[in-house]
Each structure stands twice: as structure tokens, then as C-alpha cells.
Structure 1
Amino acid sequence: MLFNYIRTSFHRFLSLQPTSSFIPTSATTVTASVKMESQSPCVLVLSGKSASEKETVKSLKENASLKLADNIKLLTLLQSERRSAKDEFDIDAYMDSLSTTCFGRVLLWSPRLPSTQDVVSLNFCEIPVGSVCIADIQFKGRGRSQNVWESPKGGLLFSFTIQMEDGRVVPLVQYVVCLAVTEALKDLALKNGFPFLDVRIKWPNDLYLDGLKVGGILCTSTYSSKKFNVSVGVGLNVDNDKPATSLNAALRKLTFGYQLRREDITSAFFNKFEHLFNIFENKGFQALEELYYKTWLHSGQRVVVQEKNEDQDLLIENVVTVQGLTSSGYLLAIADNGEMFELHPDGNSFDFFKGLVRRKLT
């Protein structure tokens, strides 16, 4: 029963589009796009940081171990076999800035993919834990309620793998990822001397800047051999401004010089995430809560929760104040009479704060 509860709450909790700049497409458009892509293979360039990791990706290529969804053809190349173009993701610059021992050290990069999340999910058992897949463009990105998204160029789109044993804390991973993004951006600002961008976390897994969505997180999981295989997707608007905003659009208002590069953000993210994830695994999320609450948008937020009365024919509105997170990762709130509640999304509303269900805590 515990496993079923974790899987249900986890998937319902995290299935959101990675970033608001992704363009929703009709089923007809997506089908035509997939059909076109299936006729010409997607290119996936493999790279490793160390000598042993380079041998790993060489073996992946030689054994033709990797696959894409929907029978889309795949052409795998080693980094040494392909000359990169000027505007593509700079693998060398990324690897040079990476200082992790696990995460991000095996890289699968493509100029155009259906979905980075599908790549790591489908090939989870073939690639080392911590591997990352990055795409310059996605034409079939994964979203909430099976929504499909196309992404313009200029966004940072990547997915990576985590393996965990304790299913009770799996739903909290999204918070560590969100926190790692905001902390990585702070580190880059400090390192390079440009103004700090006040990127904030909107519960449960969106990133906001100046009141506009600038990114988001998508997590999925499967259970196998007594372990949870978690695939984490990150979408971040770096240069793609419309229809919302981007990090570099905000920087242009503050400085005439420095602009963020996707390679620097990605390496800074993994450097920060590995550190925070180690704390999370060893000490629990409680050790990160103070830092998390400094970054999220909701401390002291007043929320109206709509509930039906006992006869189920009248909606009753209850006002509560958000205090933080419960141990299971939902919102902890207090009513005006002092009663404590745990707030859950109802599973139907796109905006979580318009579809919250409250459960009284004893």
C-alpha cells in the first residue's frame, strides 16, 4: 500500500510542463512532426568527462544500446566524431566547469529530440545513474496531463537520472531540484559579478522571475529491484523570451555586459544539486527547509480552499495561511481558529492554488 500511495501522489504531484515558453501543439501537428522525424534520424552525441566514462559512452554507441520512443530513428555519435556548430550546446565548456563525482558526467546531447525525458526514462537501465540528456530543441516535450509541447531555441532543456531506495522521500526530490536551480544562478552571479536574478520557487515545481514563469521541473518514477528510478526534467528560459520572459531578458535590463550561457547554468546546476542532494539523502529535507523557504513564494500566503458541505450541494470557502511543507511534501497551513491542515491538489485544476483540498492534522 505504501508503494501505491507514493507512486500515485508522486505522479499527480509532479506532472507539469517544464516551462511556460513551450508551445502547446495539436495532436495533428504532433503526429505530423513525429512522422517527419521518423523518416530522418535524430542525432545523439555521447560524451563522458573521465576516461572511464568515455569508454562507457563508446560502449553505448558500439552496442546500439539507446533508443527513442515512437520508433523514431536514432543516430548515435561520439563527441569526437561530430564537429559542433557555433550556436549549439558547447560540450567542452560544460565539462570543463563540471566538478561533480556522479551527476552530469555522462552527457547525451542532441540538436533536436522528441523529449529528453523520454530518452532518460526509456534508457534508464542502459545509462549510468546521474547521466544527463540535453536538447537544443524539443518537438514532443512532456507535460501535465499528457500535454505535448514544442520548445523554441534558446531554452535550456535537460533530463537526468536519480536512483533512490526510500519511496517516502521521493516526492521531495522536486524541491531539491528547484532549490538547486535557484542556488546555481546565485553562484553564477557571484562568480561573474553580474546582478543577482531573484528567481523564486512557486510550489510545487515552477520557477518565477519578476512575476512571470521562467522555468519548471518534471519528475517521473518507476519501481524496480527495490529501488525507485527517478527521471528529472528541467526546462529554463535562457534566451527565449516569449510568451513569458527569460533570464537573459532580465539581465539585459540590469547590465549591458554579461549574458548567461546554457553550458554554465547546466554545470553550475549539477555542481550545486549534487551537494544539496547529498545533504537531502543523509539528513533529510529538514536540513534544507530554511534555505528553501527563503526562495519560495508562499510563506504567509493566504489561500482560499473550497470544500463541499456534508450534503455535497454547497461550496464552502475556508481561508488558511501557508506555513511551510508537511513531511510528505504537501502544504502545511493554519486556519484562523488555529487548526492545522495539510493542503493537497485536487488533481484537476491547472493552478494548484485554485484546486486545493485540505486535510485536518491532529
Structure 2
Amino acid sequence: MQKILMRKIRQNLGRKIGIGLNTTNAAPTTSLNALLPSTQTPFTLEKLLARILTKFEVIYKRFCRNGFDRNLEQVYYDHWLHTDQIVTIETEGGARARIKGITRNWGLLLAEELGWEDRPTGKVWELQSDSNSFDFFKGLLKRKI
């Protein structure tokens, strides 16, 4: 019975990937279309999604073959915005921390506690995105509700 159950679980195992892009809304941030020169045709959601999925497929196949190897990690960090960003961690009593990256094994956010004059205290948190929310504008990490 256990063998059948495990096979059924594996068959139903899926993956979900999320992305948020502002293509047309003027607020609260600027949109992709607002960044285009006036001579260029605005993005359409269909073409943009097709382009993203085409690129993603190449990266995903590479990940399936090699895992999160050093080369893929470098590509990730080349496009990442948060390195050395100073944030407040609400769940740790409002502690200030500097974002250092992500863990290689589980992709958890690495945050280094800051003390006096923003000097590292030596304490490092590995924060899970499933239970924490990152407010980019406020520099705030808080528990998801």
C-alpha cells in the first residue's frame, strides 16, 4: 500500500513558479511600457509571456541537468537586486540586517544582523519565503499572514 501511495504522490507532484511584472500600470511603480522609447511598440502580455517562457525553459532545463551549480548561481546574482540591501526583520523584534544572498541548498534568503554603526554582529538568519514577505519599498521583512 505504501508503495502505491508514494507512486501516486510522485505522479501528482507539481511545480509552481511565480513572477510579477508591471507592464502597463503607471503606479505604484513604473511600468515596462513607460520605459520604452516613444518610437517602440508597447509590450503585449502575450508576446512578453512567450519571450519569458522561452528564456525560462532554457534555464529550467539547465537546472534539471546540473542543479543550482556555480554558473547558474552567478547568472542569478548578476540579475538580483537585493545584495547588501539593509532591511528590518519584523519577526526578530525589528532587528536590522543586510541581505547577503541565498543559501545554495534550499534558496533561503541570507540576512546578516547589523549592530552598532551597521557593523555585522555575526548572527545570520536563513529566511524562508513561504513564511516571510519582503516589502522592497520599505526594506521590511515580515511574516506572511
Same fold (TM over 0.5): yes
Match of 2:142? 355
- Give the superposed CA RMSD: 3.1
Q: TM-score, normalised by structure 2?
A: 0.65
Q: Compute the displacement of 1:299 (Å).
A: 0.3
* Cα distance in 1, alignment partners of residues 35 and 107 from structure 2: 31
Residue segments in structure 2 that go unaligned for 5+ positions in a row:
1-6, 114-119
Q: Is the 8 A contact 1:238 1:248 kept in 2?
A: yes
Q: In structure 1, which of residues 336, 340, 343 is the aligned counterpart of residue 127 of structure 2?
A: 343
Letter in 2 for 1:333: A
Q: Is the 8 A contact 2:88 2:96 kept in 1?
A: yes
Match of 2:30? 245
Residue segments in structure 1 that go unaligned for 5+ positions in a row:
1-222, 309-314, 357-362
Q: Compute the displacement of 1:277 (Å).
A: 0.2
Q: Is the 8 A contact 1:303 1:321 kept in 2?
A: yes
Q: TM-score, normalised by structure 1?
A: 0.30
- Off by >6 Å, runs of 4+ in structure 1: none
Q: Percent identity?
A: 35
Match of 2:21? 236
Distance 1:250 1:280, change over 3 A: same
Larger RCO of the pair (alpha carbons < 8 Å, separation 6+): 1
* Cα distance in 2, alignment partners of residues 279 and 288 from structure 1: 8
Q: Compute the displacement of 1:349 (Å).
A: 5.8
Q: Is the 8 A contact 2:109 2:129 kept in 1?
A: no
> How many residues are treated as equivalent by the alignment?
124
Q: Compute the displacement of 1:224 (Å).
A: 4.5
* Cα distance in 1, alignment partners of residues 130 and 122 from structure 2: 23
* Cα distance in 1, alignment partners of residues 60 and 72 from structure 2: 10
* Cα distance in 2, alignment partners of residues 303 and 242 from structure 1: 23
Q: Compute the displacement of 1:284 (Å).
A: 1.4
* Cα distance in 1, alignment partners of residues 91 and 52 from structure 2: 40
Higher fraction of strand: 1
Say if 2:39 is the partner of 1:257.
Answer: yes
**What SS class does the counterpart of residue 121 from structure 2 fall into?**
coil
Work out which of the two has the higher radius of gyration on C-alpha atoms and give 1 or 2.
Answer: 1
Say if 2:66 is the partner of 1:270.
Answer: no
* Cα distance in 2, alignment partners of residues 300 and 270 from structure 1: 29
* Cα distance in 2, alignment partners of residues 233 and 299 from structure 1: 21
